[in-house]
Structure 1
Amino acid sequence: MQIDGGVVVGVDGSASSVRALQLADEEAQRRDALLHVVRAWSIRTAPRPTDCPPNTIPSMDAFHETVAADTRQVVAGQLAEQRAAAAHIHAVHSPPPQALLSASKGADLLVVGHRGRGGFAGLMLGSVAEQCVRHAACPVLVVRPSV
């Protein structure tokens, strides 16, 4: 994934990442910058392609296209039509921290939600957000839920 400037946001479909997407878009508009939406996925976390027959295993390409389409749908549901169309979608078969840290190398700002889909609800900061704060190559904005 090649990022050359702009605002990068990690999206996994969680409420926290949707809020991060909204604020990342606002920040991209303020900066007159590109918005890069990164969705890291694995076979375990990817939505199953709907056209794949039961008892068969989809190809990696089919998973990738389904993840990208799902991410475009999330973006389209949250941003104005023109802003959604201008967003650059990056579906990356990678663990989330690695995908976001790689994207941070070329970004002006990385935006992440405070918690994703992980299983430890009592934590104040999710493990992906913590890794980004500690290791990103650009400034990081961690988005808390709106009150």
Structure 2
Amino acid sequence: MGSVTESRIVVGVDGSSSSRRALGWAVEQARLTGAVVDAVACWVYPTMYGVVMAKPESRADQEAGRMLARAVAEVVGDRPPAEVRQSVLLGNAAEELLARAHGADLLVLGRREHHAFVNVLAGSVSQYCLQRARCPVVLIRDPEGH
């Protein structure tokens, strides 16, 4: 008998309404498929001209963890219909999400609507992941555009 691999859905959570909608969609999909949800929040030290502007004791990682816990609590409550694991990662969100999604069944991301020119100049996590992911990517749009 071969080994059974865990079915996983990775979802990026940044505190925005579109990422909360993506988390809700991922949890419902996990309930339907028996998958586990890996809810991931990423953070980086703020920099200016390549110089780190925050001190390590600023606890940005703890703030990201609190944001993720709040989002999970708001979306799924105390009794989620599927297992939701929470991870807070230091690093570029797009790169960290792609690494975490390696071997996953799905990567789910919220998508905020921006002017096309902004996306061309700044790029976006969702666009980066769409172009490079090795698993299917689901984008959940925020109908309010927030």
Tell me, in whole angstroms, the C-alpha distance in 2 between the residues paired with 1:113 and 1:91: 17
The aligned residue for residue 67 of structure 2 is 70
Is the strand fraction higher in 1 or 2? 2
Letter in 2 for 1:59: E
**Offset, 1:137:** 1.4
Q: Is 2:130 aligned against 1:137?
A: no
**Offset, 1:89:** 0.7
**Offset, 1:127:** 1.3
Which one of the candidate residues 104, 107, 115 is aligned to 1:122? 115
Whether the 8 Å CA contact 2:30–2:82 is kept in 1: the answer is: no
RMSD (Å) for aligned C-alpha atoms: 2.7
**Bigger Rg, structure 1 or 2:** 2
SS of aligned partner of 2:80: helix
SS of aligned partner of 1:143: strand
Which one of the candidate residues 9, 12, 16 is aligned to 2:11? 9
Instruction: Evaluate the alpha carbon distance shift between residue 29 and residue 100 of structure 1 in structure 2; reply closer, same or farther with a 3 A threshold.
Output: same
User: What 5-or-longer segments of structure 2 have no aligned partner?
Assistant: 1-5, 47-53
Whether the 8 Å CA contact 2:106–2:137 is kept in 1: the answer is: yes
- Give TM-score scaled by structure 1 length: 0.76
The aligned residue for residue 103 of structure 1 is 100
The aligned residue for residue 39 of structure 1 is 41
Tell me, in whole angstroms, the C-alpha distance in 2 between the residues paired with 1:22 and 1:103: 19
SS of aligned partner of 1:71: helix
Instruction: Evaluate the alpha carbon distance shift between residue 94 and residue 84 of structure 1 in structure 2; reply closer, same or farther with a 3 A threshold.
Output: farther
Whether the 8 Å CA contact 2:35–2:82 is kept in 1: the answer is: no
Q: Which of structure 1's runs of 4+ aligned residues deviate more than 6 A?
A: none
- Could you tell me the percent identity over the aligned residues? 32
The aligned residue for residue 90 of structure 1 is 87
**Offset, 1:15:** 1.4
Tell me, in whole angstroms, the C-alpha distance in 1 between the residues paired with 2:81 and 2:92: 25
